[in-house]
Amino acid sequence: MQAAGERFRPGDVVVRREILRGEVWFACPTICVEDSPDLLALYLPSGAEFGFPEEGSFPCGRHPWHVAGQRAWTGHGKLMLQRPGEAHSVDVFWSGPQRDFAGWYFNLQDPLRRTPIGVDTLDHELDLWWAADADRYVFKDVEIFAQRLVEGRYPGMGEAIRAEGDRIAALLDAGQRWWDESWASWRPDPTWQTPSLPAGWSSVPC
């Protein structure tokens, strides 16, 4: 457990949970890369287990990965770059046997809230993807996001989520880069072990 106000150290396990309508909906263990006043960088390695709570009302249904039978992260790990108070992360992806940089993924989500074991958020489904070999970004999951609004997953948040996507697009169109692009060549510490979820991860207050 982390004491109030204490920062994570490189190599610490940080539990990233998704909270839907006040309930823990999903969790995964990540590894702290950097925790500074301006940036929290978390690494989700291949093989990191997914956690789905056994108890809850789940008014919008179980997490899609739970329904699909996905139990762990596969492929290359991904790096998630998150600034305090922002409603998105900049995720870094790699591909192929040489672990080549694949692109930037702008993941819309609730601003992070710290807990004694990690951080809480909620993925907003709508995202932007800028592949390494592309001239421009594309929006992703627009139709799925619209369906999630109909299902009531983000009550009263639809316009704000769309506005955040448009804000990111405008910044990219203006040539602004608010993250350090050298993260594209980052590599994880080879001594890091695949993290596990700690006991009681779903019972820590949101």
Q: Which two tokens stand for residue 117?
A: 């074991």
Q: Which of 140, 184, 186, 192 is catalytic?
A: 140
In the chain, alpha helices (H): 64-68, 142-151, 158-173
| Distance separating alpha carbons of residues 34 and 16, to the nearest angstrom | 15
* Contact status, residue 65 vs residue 92, Cβ threshold 8 Å: no
Q: Which two tokens stand for residue 168?
A: 């990111």
| Distance separating alpha carbons of residues 91 and 127, to the nearest angstrom | 11
Q: Return the residue matching tokens 């692009």.
A: 181
| Distance separating alpha carbons of residues 85 and 197, to the nearest angstrom | 25
Burial 68-98 (b: 16+ CB within 10 A, else e): eeeeebeebbbbbbbbeeebbbbbbbbeeee
| Distance separating alpha carbons of residues 41 and 7, to the nearest angstrom | 12
Annotation marks residue 78 as catalytic: no
Nearest to 202 by CA among 8, 3, 25, 6: 25
Residues recognised as catalytic: 140
